[in-house]
Amino acid sequence: MGDFYRGGRDGGNRRPPKRRYRSEEEEGEHQRRPRYDREDALQRLRRETIQIAESPLVKIEDAVKNIAMAYISSVFESDEFRPGYLQCLHDLVTEQPFKIPFVATIVRVANAENAEAGKAVLDHMVEALQSYVNQGLFQQVKLMLRFFACLGDVLGELGIAPLLDEMIVKLESYKKEGDEGLVLELTYIILITMPYARVSESKFGDAEAKEMLARIAPYTEINHVMQAMYDPFSGNASPYRDTSGQGNHMVRVLYQNLDSALTTEVEDDFSGIKCLPTPWKDIAPVAGTEYPMPTLEFPEEFPIDKSQLQPEIYFSVFADQPIETVPPPSDLAGTIFRDTIVDTINILDCNRLSVSRFLIEIDCFYNPKSFIKRATPYDRVNEVAESADSDDPSTWKPEDVAVDAIFSQLFRLPTPCHKLVYYHSILTELCKLAPAAIAPSLGRAIRFMYRNLEIIDIELINRFVDWFSHHLSNFGYTWKWTEWSEHLNFPDVHPKKAFILGSLEKEIRLSFATRIKGTLPDAFRELISEEREKEQPVFKFDLDENPFKIAGKELLVAVSERKEDAEVEPLIAAIATAAAEAGLADEADPRKYARDAYITCICHIGAKSLSHVLSCIERCKDKLLSIGHEHPDARRQIVGSVLSYWKDQPGIGANVVDKLLNYSVVTPLSVIEWVLLDAGPEALAKTYAWEMVATTIHKVNNRVRQIVAAKSSVLGAEGVPEDQIAIFQATLKSAQDEQAEILAYVEKRLSELATFEDAGDEVDVESVAWIQWWAKGWLRAFRRMFEVTEGKADTVMAESS
């Protein structure tokens, strides 16, 4: 399967494409074998089990029964096969959450048939669960508990309820200042297990569930200290029709969902708790021998970084539509779908193709009545749902539910589980798999985001630009730009206009200007300047009006011919003298013009490609380092010279600056100062400006993190010499000082820009307002990056060691 997307056109190729092998030896063997040939009993059963519920053509009753019987008859008795199959069941539970109810049904059937065979599975799972608890691997704990919940009365007449009760009791002991994330995580795990327990074959009924919910309620009101900063929307306006989810974390949303599901009668037979599949009802009504669940030990401390436990905030791109194509935030079904889809996405990042296939087929894993037929067009949803011959009145579109979940991760604050490009890749893959179903759904999502640009977090606007341009690059850059034509008259700093400009800029970076122009309607073509289509920027010393043109060209030749410093330095000095004679030089910094000329030469020599500029910087790094120290502002000016050379392609300029940062030619602070001070207030609306600052801050924060992480390996051993400890402390101190200095600067400068007034009447009133808006948004985003909580903004928080 890994091969089908490989490059090349196989049409004319006589050689079959190369095959991939898998990393593990044992599976490697399995892969290379002709398919299904010579499979032993374990391999066959493993394959059938992993595919459970995937095909609507196979009757689930038959599949479950066959698998359970095969397990008992040909695998369970074999000491060679049994461990492998138990592991397979375990892996399926922790890797493919959609299938948990079906795996549990297999185990119920097996247990009713053969108590020993059932016990073997349960012993294996209990051991794994305890180990996950000890390690603080909460996602796995959650999925294991769900498996046990689905077993129902195999665990006793109340099913998993007694275990959940114990967990609720435990919650109190974890409630410590600063551990809000942990308590919320555990609370969420208990809550999300409840609906599965409720529909399981057990005596855990509404009354028991209500009682349990009442006891857990107080914990759902806890908020994470950073919560306000994690809201995807800033300001008070709500983009949703039903505002009950707005700004709430999913723990609270889930609590409210459960509360309403237990207290109000629903008329339909697909929403709320009824969305869940109950395969055991028809196939495995009998529990068989009861398996008393052993008590779980909960450690006092979990060996994890608890600051990483951050509750997700409710997010949807479809919750404002007149037609309800996803469950509203008040419906438990929405939270149940979201939970499992998000887990599937984040667990299976090793194979975006499998994930996409599951997402296209989500309706296979729930009550089939919960979803309208796949690929029903949006404008026909109501008609199809209401039609007389339809027995499913649900208007929920499976593709919208899936797409919504992906966007919730792409736009998750502070960061999603994986790199953003992973979520891009799933959306691309979905579009390739089912274009007719997915493309319109994405279109509506894009329009939602675009409509709400004025209230979305600035970091998310930049993620949106990044995704949108990357996505279009995979589909021939086709988009109906004309629907945004009316916004072309907006000032460039208006979020909508800035989004259009940013997206085109990033499209060009992935392609080239002429190509992108060709994909645009006329009015949009004008946004791309002619300079953008030139292969290389103009070398300013080639221009006749440049007073230093001869000296500049001489310098270019000298640097490109790799002359020694003894020959280069006099040329630089000559420019400095000429500038002084022309009255252009500042007495305090006489070499400013000369430095600019030198950097311009390096940029021009390196303009051919990134490798060229890199090798040029490498070659000249001593000179670059020394001129950076000529004046306190020298490094900031170096950044300016690079961006001025690359003014028409600032993305490349930003890359060059990033390389100079790696060589310490410029400092992080000088980069940030240039963007916030010299690039002009309008730069706040530009993607390259955002990227320069965000990348630089990430590097600084990462450096502190890496030093802190290395602490135990450097200082952990006994008898570490004093001087080594001192060196470590000094390194850490300087990195933290740098971090604090940058945060202080960002705070100060952005606060100034947030109240920016234009003295010279150069900027119109509307633009001034938007510049202030950007500055406030940047401030919020960067405070979040430095983990400064709202209200604590005055105290500069360096990361504690």
Partner 1 sequence: MAAAIRKISTVQNLDAPSSYFEKRDANKRQRVSESVPKDDPLKDAATLYVGNLSFYTTEEQIHELFSKCGEIKRLVMGLDRFSKTPCGFCFVEYYTHLDALDAMKYVGGTKLDERIIRTDLDPGFKEGRQYGRGPNGGQVRDYYREDYDPGRGGYGGREQRIAGRN
**Other C-beta atoms within 10 Å of 183: how many?**
23
> Interface with partner 1 by CB under 8 A: which range of 61-69, 505-513, 622-630, 768-776?
505-513
Minimum CB distance to partner 1, residue 526 (Å)? 24
Q: How far apart are CA 543 and CA 523, in angstroms?
A: 32
Please identify which residue in 384, 455, 574, 614 interacts with partner 1, judged by CB under 8 A.
Answer: 614
Catalogue the long-range contacts made by 161-165 (C-beta closer than 8 Å, 24 or more residues apart): 161/197, 161/202, 161/204, 161/208, 161/212, 162/293, 163/293, 163/296, 164/190, 164/193, 164/194, 164/197, 164/212, 165/212
The position carrying tokens 């200082």 is 715
Is 470 a binder of partner 1 (CB under 8 A)?
yes
CB nearer to partner 1: give 136 or 245.
136
> Which ranges of 588-686 would DSSP assign to H, the alpha helix?
592-605, 610-619, 621-628, 634-645, 650-662, 668-673
Q: How far apart are CA 725 and CA 715, in angstroms?
A: 7
CB nearer to partner 1: give 97 or 491.
97
Q: Is 136 left (phi over 0), alpha (psi -120 to 50) or beta?
A: left
For the packed helices 495-510 and 687-715, what is the interaxial angle rounded to 10 degrees?
A: 70
Give the three-class secondary structure for 53: coil
CB nearer to partner 1: give 161 or 465.
465
**How big is the site for partner 1, counted in residues (CB under 8 A)?**
65
Half-sphere exposure of 513 (CA within 13 A, CB side): 15
Q: Choose among 258, 158, 145, 146: nearest CA to 201.
A: 158
Inter-residue contact 603 to 541 (CB < 8 Å) = no
CB nearer to partner 1: give 289 or 415.
415
Is 536 a binder of partner 1 (CB under 8 A)?
no
Minimum CB distance to partner 1, residue 393 (Å)? 35
Is 514 a binder of partner 1 (CB under 8 A)?
no
User: Which residues are bridge partners to 589 per DSSP?
Assistant: 586
Minimum CB distance to partner 1, residue 1 (Å)? 6
Minimum CB distance to partner 1, residue 322 (Å)? 35
> Which ranges of 663-721 would DSSP assign to H, the alpha helix?
668-673, 687-715
CB nearer to partner 1: give 71 or 598.
71
Query: What residues from 646 to 705 belong to the interface with partner 1 (CB under 8 A)?
Result: 651-652, 655, 658
Please identify which residue in 384, 510, 708, 796 interacts with partner 1, judged by CB under 8 A.
Answer: 510
Give the three-class secondary structure for 586: strand
Is 351 a binder of partner 1 (CB under 8 A)?
yes
Distance of CA 345 to the CA centre of its chain: 11
Half-sphere exposure of 597 (CA within 13 A, CB side): 31
The pair of three-digit structure tokens given for residue 759, joined into one six-digit string: 């003295």
Query: What residues from 297 to 316 belong to the interface with partner 1 (CB under 8 A)?
Result: 305, 308
Q: Is 479 left (phi over 0), alpha (psi -120 to 50) or beta?
A: beta
Inter-residue contact 497 to 507 (CB < 8 Å) = no
> Interface with partner 1 by CB under 8 A: which range of 84-92, 266-274, 703-711, 771-779?
84-92
CB nearer to partner 1: give 154 or 652.
652
Please identify which residue in 115, 228, 353, 710 interacts with partner 1, judged by CB under 8 A.
Answer: 353
Query: What residues from 38 to 77 belong to the interface with partner 1 (CB under 8 A)?
Result: 50
Taking residues 185 to 224 in sequence order and writing x for each that binds partner 1 by CB under 8 A, - otherwise, the string is ----------------------------------------
Please identify which residue in 169, 237, 421, 538 interacts with partner 1, judged by CB under 8 A.
Answer: 421
Query: What residues from 1 to 30 belong to the interface with partner 1 (CB under 8 A)?
Result: 1-2, 5-9, 11-14, 18-24, 27
Q: Is 720 left (phi over 0), alpha (psi -120 to 50) or beta?
A: beta
The pair of three-digit structure tokens given for residue 742, joined into one six-digit string: 């940058």
CB nearer to partner 1: give 511 or 577.
511
**Peptide bond preceding 377 in cis form (omega within 30 of 0):** no
CB nearer to partner 1: give 447 or 621.
621
Please identify which residue in 111, 248, 428, 641 interacts with partner 1, judged by CB under 8 A.
Answer: 428
Q: Choose among 517, 515, 509, 410: nearest CA to 457.
A: 410
> Interface with partner 1 by CB under 8 A: which range of 113-121, 239-247, 344-352, 437-445?
344-352
One-letter identity of residue 681: P
Is 517 a binder of partner 1 (CB under 8 A)?
no
Minimum CB distance to partner 1, residue 54 (Å)? 12
The pair of three-digit structure tokens given for residue 227, joined into one six-digit string: 């919560």
The pair of three-digit structure tokens given for residue 659, joined into one six-digit string: 């390389």
Please identify which residue in 73, 173, 609, 734 interacts with partner 1, judged by CB under 8 A.
Answer: 609
Please identify which residue in 417, 694, 796, 797 interacts with partner 1, judged by CB under 8 A.
Answer: 417
Q: How far apart are CA 431 and CA 353, in angstroms?
A: 11
Minimum CB distance to partner 1, residue 601 (Å)? 20
- Is residue 337 classed exposed, middle or buried when 0-12, 13-18 and 19+ CB atoms within 10 A define those classes? buried
Minimum CB distance to partner 1, residue 21 (Å)? 6
Minimum CB distance to partner 1, residue 774 (Å)? 24
Q: How far apart are CA 784 and CA 471, in angstroms?
A: 27
Taking residues 238 to 277 in sequence order and writing x for each that binds partner 1 by CB under 8 A, - otherwise, the string is ----------------------------------------
Minimum CB distance to partner 1, residue 225 (Å)? 18
Is 511 a binder of partner 1 (CB under 8 A)?
yes
| DSSP for residue 388 | T
Q: Which residues bind partner 1 (CB under 8 A)?
A: 1-2, 5-9, 11-14, 18-24, 27, 50, 87-88, 91-92, 95-96, 305, 308, 347-354, 415-422, 424-425, 428, 466, 470, 473-474, 476, 506, 509-512, 609-611, 614, 651-652, 655, 658
